[in-house]
Amino acid sequence: MNATFKKAEVLRYFLSRGLAYHLVYLRWRMARLVQRLLPPDYVPELRPVNEGKEPDFLFEPDDVADLISKVPPTERQCTIDRANAVCRGEFSFRGRDAVVFEGAVDWRLDVAGNPDWRWDLNRHGFFEDLGRAWRYTGDARYGERFAELVRDWIAVNPPEPGARNWTAPFEVAFRINSWLWAWHLFRDCRSIDDATRALLRQGIATHCEFLYRNLELNARNNHLLLEAKALHFGALLLPEYPRSGRWKRRAEKHLWREIRHQFTTDGVHREMSTHYHRVVAGELLEWHLLMLRQRREIPGFVAERIRRMAKVDYEIRRPDGTLPLFGDSSETDTYARFSAAVAGPQVFGFDTHVLAPATVDEASVWRLCHRDRRERSPSAFTSRAFPAGGYYLMRSGGSLDSAMQMVIDAGPFGLDLDPHHGHADALSFDLHAMGRPWLVDSGVYSTHASWEWRRYFRGTASHNTVRIDGEDQSRLIDSRRATNLARVTCHRWSTRGDELEIFDASHDGYMRLPEPARHRRVVWFVRDRFWLIADVIDGQGQHRLESNLHCPDDVSVSSIANLAFRLASPDGKSFGVIAGSQAPFDAELVQGADNPVQGWRSRNSGDLRPAPTISYRAACALPATLYTLLVPDIDALPGVPSIRALDTEAEVRVGDDLHRFEISPIAHRGDSLNRPS
């Protein structure tokens, strides 16, 4: 993308935002500028707590013995181990090697040029580890280490304009959560003196006042929503501050508005990132529980939206409980403090499937202290759809080893005004079978990476879908912005057959090409056996077609026949990928290539590792159709499955069985596939 064209695209992007967006953005920028020129006093006036009684929290000191008995012993030990590491000056985040501070912690350190590490360090999620470790063991050194760290942080990081750990309101919001939990976990710890307690309490109030003045009103995505949640949390738990009423009113205003704005009617977070959905669902469920604990009224639409988002978080998980990494997503994150997928069924009592975990985790135990456990009614592990959000789940099975699941992403690119965390991944999918993932999303790597790497992980080539003429489905301008967003239309979703299920959808992302093309994907699921995908590329003229299938980095891939591959896991399981077409497709196995970039996976922020990618490619005239057969446990079959491909139908032989599949005609509306005059 040349500089002139990019400038034109950026201008077009900003013009498309509308006047209201720019007025809000300008107001926010001006407020930040005024605060730099005329720094406010962030230290609110303190008044005594009425009658010495604090507001109800999610647990009380008298509850602790019972809580500890419910935490699985292995999780208690993991928390103690993490707390011990903090006591030794060792800090590790998102699966990266630990950084060891011999003396004082350097709160301003960036590791490998990735600010995410510094953000994780200054979010202070490890304060909860220290607090729980003290509750589990009674060892005073955990309280002493906490007091040492919080006093040092406050001394080194005053809330001054431009101060490095005060520039991001989103990070300030996280610290409010961490410090409030630390306050209650160490509430009766004798190794923390009164002066440190007062400093901590005043520090929480200072964070709340800063956040009140600096909510990211220009970022109507997870940032504003989570900042409003943290501010409301602080207002509910620090009523002794005269300004807490203002904090509460402003937080409620934005909470109610953003919960309406940021979620579809069926509960999917509109940023189309499963990671941010997980984070937001957990944070709002925690807030919901505190509101119930304090017997405060929750608007009906808010409670219902939170229930639905918890249900989505529960259903979209793979059979092993892990998360498909759609959009800007990673396997771990310090903000994933509490799982709505685990606690949601206990809070709302919605039906669960037979693969539901039998126990709740540590974070849920501490938050569900005053909630009665609701009886769950396990149901069959059957297909589900969230059509407003665009997630379609084709699945079957009754145990982890027998379960099969494909999650298809057929939703929008992301939030219309803030598409920062969306990927050009229309009609991509994540596939799990025999207890493990086989075809996956490549991840996020880093939002701070170079344009080449950011474009790869955000672009169409890193997803399990079709790319045409080397272009992304949606036009990516830079690391955050995008235009010409692909729109998906679902034509059919059928799960009522005896053994066959059908998904049929298309998108218009390539209608912008000089010779327009439309990608339609039909997926047939023969329950408990296999999936067949038909990628129909409709249009005119010559085009370069590319269908990529991305494997986990621990899987080995080998060619077993023309257009056919065997995937093998370290524990000896196998999976088959077989393609067929009348068009002249060939196949290439790519891993760790950098020119062009292909065959990489990222599990966490800053993590980069080579991973096998099967790439089917053809240069041909349209229309063209590529069939792809996905078969678990291919080694158990008497021979390699085969496809006899025709334009609108295919014959598939798997073992001794022959299956016929036909692509039904559909009528597209709107855009013409005729070449522009």
Q: Tell me the domains of the chain and their CATH numbers.
A: 1-35 (no CATH), 61-217 (1.50.10.100), 410-662 (2.70.98.70)
Q: How far apart are CA 126 and CA 18, in angstroms?
A: 42
Residue 673 has pLDDT above 80, yes or no: no
Span 467-524, pLDDT tens digits: 999 999 999 988 788 888 999 999 999 998 778 999 999 999 999 999 999 999 999 9
Residue 35 has pLDDT above 80, yes or no: no
Question: Is the bond preceding 596 in cis, omega lying within 30 degrees of 0?
Answer: yes
Confidence class for position 391, pLDDT limits 50, 70, 90: very high
Residue 13 has pLDDT above 70, yes or no: no
Mean pLDDT within 139-148: 98
SS3 content of the chain, % helix, strand, coil (to 5): 35, 25, 40
Mean pLDDT within 112-120: 83
pLDDT of residue 507: 97
Span 269-293, pLDDT tens digits: 999 999 999 999 999 999 999 999 9
Which two structure tokens, joined as six digits, stand for 201?
A: 């309490």
Question: Is the bond preceding 169 in cis, omega lying within 30 degrees of 0?
Answer: no
Phi, psi of 463 (to 5 degrees): -125, 160
Greater model confidence, 139 or 483:
139
Span 440-462, pLDDT tens digits: 999 999 888 888 999 999 999 99
Residue 189 has pLDDT above 70, yes or no: yes
Contact between 333 and 283 (Cβ < 8 Å): no
Over the chain, what is the mean pLDDT?
91
Confidence class for position 672, pLDDT limits 50, 70, 90: low
Total length of the chain: 677
Percentage of the chain modeled with pLDDT above 70: 91
User: 459, 430, 220, 212: which is closest to 320 by C-alpha?
Assistant: 430
User: 42, 30, 57, 52: which is closest to 243 by C-alpha?
Assistant: 42
Confidence class for position 677, pLDDT limits 50, 70, 90: very low
Q: How far apart are CA 361 and CA 343, in angstroms?
A: 8
Span 302-344, pLDDT tens digits: 999 999 999 999 999 999 999 999 999 999 888 889 999 999 9
Find the farthest-apart pair of alpha carbons in the chain and give their distance in angstroms, rounded: 81
Contact between 600 and 462 (Cβ < 8 Å): yes
Q: How far is CA 486 from CA 171, 327, 387, 504, in A?
A: 32, 14, 16, 16
